[in-house]
A and B are shown apart, each in its own frame.
Chain A
C-alpha cells in the first residue's frame, strides 16, 4: 500500500518563525495536497500539485508557500508563522480515485 510520510509530526515555533513541513509519498502519485484541520472547519485545502514543479492554489493559501520538488516530495512553507496558523496539517497523495493521507503534523505557533 502507498505510504505518505509527514515530518515533523509535532512542531512548536514562535511568532515570525520559519517552518517547513515535509511530505513524501512512495508510489509516484501525480496529485499531492496540503490541508489544515481546525476544530469546526473540517479539512481546508491550502495548496496542491499535480506533478513535480507544479503548484495550484487551494482555498486558504494566505501565509503559505509550497513547493513540489520531485514526484515524491511536497513541502509546505510558513515563512512568518503566526498564531492563526496553529493547526493540524495533513498531506495526501492520490492517483485515480484512491487517496492516501499522512498521519498529520501538529504545529503550534506561540
Chain B
C-alpha cells in the first residue's frame, strides 16, 4: 500500500528560528497536502501542493513528485506554531488519503 514517511519525528526550536519538515511518499499517482493539528485538537489543511512550490504566510512547501518528496518550511517560528504537522497523499486512482505519522513541533519562547 501507500507509504508516507515524515521526518524528523519531533523538532524543538526557539521562537524566531526556521523549521524544515520532510515528507517522502511511495507513489507518484498522488496529490500531496500538509495539515496541522493543534495539541488535543482537530486537523486543518495548511497547503495543497501536488508539485512545485507553494507559499502561504510564513509557510513554504516544495514538492518534487518524480523524487517522491515534499518539504514544509516554516519561517520565523512562533510559539503558536507548536503542534503536529502531517503530510498526506491522495491517491488519484483509489481516492484513498494516507497520512504520515507526523512531526511534533515545539517552539519555545
| Interface-lining segment among A12-20, A70-78, A93-101 | A93-101
| Interface-lining segment among B12-20, B58-66, B70-78, B99-107 | B99-107
How near does chain A come to B30, taking the closest CB pair, in angstroms? Answer: 12
Please determine whether B102 and A42 come into contact, CB atoms closer than 8 angstroms. yes
Whether A45 touches B98, Cβ cut-off 8 Å, given contacts A97-B33, A99-B33, is: yes
Please determine whether B95 and A56 come into contact, CB atoms closer than 8 angstroms. yes
A40, A44, A50, A104: which contacts B95 (Cβ < 8 A)? Answer: A50
**In the bound complex, what is the Cα–Cα distance between A48 and B43 (angstroms)?**
17
**In the bound complex, what is the Cα–Cα distance between A40 and B94 (angstroms)?**
26
**In the bound complex, what is the Cα–Cα distance between A102 and B44 (angstroms)?**
10
B44, B98, B101: which contacts A59 (Cβ < 8 A)? Answer: B98
A40 / chain B contacts, CB cutoff of 8 Å: 101
Closest to B50 in A: A97
B99 / chain A contacts, CB cutoff of 8 Å: 35, 42-45
Whether A98 touches B45, Cβ cut-off 8 Å, given contacts A42-B86, A43-B86, A59-B1, is: yes
B100 / chain A contacts, CB cutoff of 8 Å: 42
